[in-house]
Amino acid sequence: MEMSFRWYGHDDPVTLKNIRQIPGMKGIVTAVYDIPVGQPWPLERIEKLKADVEAEGLHISVIESVPVHEDIKLGKPTRDKYIAAYKETLVNLGKAGIPVVCYNFMPVFDWTRSQLDYELPDGSTALIFKQEDIDRMDPISGELSLPGWDSSYTKEGLTTLFEEYKEVDEEKLWENLEYFIKAIMPTAEAAGVKMAIHPDDPPYSIFGLPRIITGGEALNRFIKLYDSEYNGVTLCVGSFASDPKNDAVAILKDMLAKKRVNFVHARNVKLTGGKSFEESAHLSEMGSIDMYEVVKACVDYDFQGAIRPDHGRMIWGETGRPGYGLYDRALGATYLNGLYEACVKAKKAAEAKA
């Protein structure tokens, strides 16, 4: 298991120098952020990004993400040209030695929250999802904008997209995902790039849009679309646990046993009733996920991929990109490293006694 950290490039107030000073930190999770969705990433841009990271004594563990164009998700006739561009990017990532790509298949919007600066009892601020607030929001009005969203949409463009998605139910979205997976996976395998689909966040329909990567049953259907360890998942325990119906640790163990976990997001959330939740500190007792069991599962199944402390609170007066400050995520990484060391030593001790 390799500890990694999300970095949003040179505009990120959290610098590579900051990240390198976190004990046990080895990998960077990043992307080329200024190329429009649907265009291929030039090899020289990837190599420049890689060189910048390596110059600070780190390396790129995962690209998060290479966005999937909406025409692919909608199954439009134009999807093939965007799939060709996606494959070109994968080839170039392979040439640069990038091992994993995280991506998602969420229509229109990436991760969604109702508030980005909710004050917790300890005075820190966190991302939260209140179902009743989301139900009252009109995303087309532009009243809600989050860091994970594509900001290039105009109001008119969003209106058109929502109209188009009225013709796409969950089964149609599954068909479009299958078409995409079967098109890209031979290229990914040949390039040596493992794919890691991220679950829908949160893992249920919002704003009337279909969502399909929502739990254990969905993941098992997904991995059957293309039978290869290169067709894997980003096991984001926080995303899955946001739905009270999901047992995130059980889902993790199932995918680890099937060797389909290519990346792990370790985020804790506190369920607050219905489908509402708060993002919490990583410590198990602060949320609804047993992070010890998450790390223990990774050790028990000898997971060798990257794990990163996902969304952190804003603490100690820090300001910056919501969910992606330095301090709380650094605390999370240190906590995860401590759990990892304890689990590894316990496993070795048990094996020595056997």
- Surface-to-core class of residue 319, CB atoms within 10 Å of its CB (0-12 exposed, 13-18 middle, 19+ buried): exposed
Place of tokens 């610098």: 15
310 is catalytic: yes
The catalytic position among 153, 265, 327, 343 is: 265
Per-residue pLDDT at 146? 54
Tokens 């946001």 locate to 242
pTM for the whole structure? 0.93
**Cβ atoms of 260 and 232 closer than 8 Å:** yes
Residue tagged active-site, from 12, 71, 310, 328? 310
131: its two tokens: 């179902």
Q: Tell me 115's DSSP state.
A: E
Say how far residue 271 (Cα) sits from the centre of its chain: 20
Task: Kindly name the residue from 12, 69, 82, 198 that is annotated as catalytic.
Answer: 198
- Relative to beta strand 125-129, strand 115-119 is antiparallel
d(CA 288, CA 238): 9
Q: Is 282 a catalytic residue?
A: no
Query: Which parts of the chain fold into alpha helices (H)?
Result: 16-20, 43-54, 70-74, 79-95, 131-136, 155-165, 170-191, 216-223, 237-241, 248-257, 291-300, 327-353
Name the residue type at position 47.
E
Q: What is the pLDDT of residues 314-325, one digit of tens each?
A: 999 999 999 999
pLDDT of residue 207: 85
Annotation marks residue 204 as catalytic: no
Active-site annotation holds for 59: no
The β-bridge relationship of strands 59-64 and 27-30 is parallel
Asked if residues 208 and 111 have their Cβ atoms less than 8 Å apart, the reply is: no
Instruction: Clarify whether 265 is annotated catalytic.
Output: yes
Provide CATH code, domain 2-353. Answer: 3.20.20.150
**Marked catalytic residue, from 311, 327, 335, 343:** 311
| Domain chopping of the chain, boundaries | 2-353
Encode the chain (354 residues) as per-residue pLDDT tens digits: 999 999 999 999 999 999 999 999 999 999 999 999 999 999 999 999 999 999 999 999 999 999 999 999 999 999 999 999 999 999 999 999 999 999 999 998 888 888 889 999 999 999 999 988 888 777 776 555 554 555 566 677 778 888 899 999 999 999 999 999 999 999 999 999 999 999 999 999 888 899 999 999 999 999 999 999 999 999 999 999 999 999 999 999 999 999 999 999 999 999 999 899 999 999 999 999 999 999 999 999 999 999 999 999 999 999 999 999 999 999 999 999 999 999 999 999 999 988
Catalytic residue among 12, 82, 236, 327: 236
- Identified catalytic residue from 165, 324, 335, 340: 324
Q: How far apart are the C-alpha atoms of 217 and 234, rounded to whole Å?
A: 15
Known catalytic residue at 138? no
Phi-psi category of residue 73: left, alpha or beta, with phi > 0 → left and psi -120 to 50 → alpha: alpha
Helix/strand/coil for 84: helix
Pairing of strands 269-273, 276-279: antiparallel
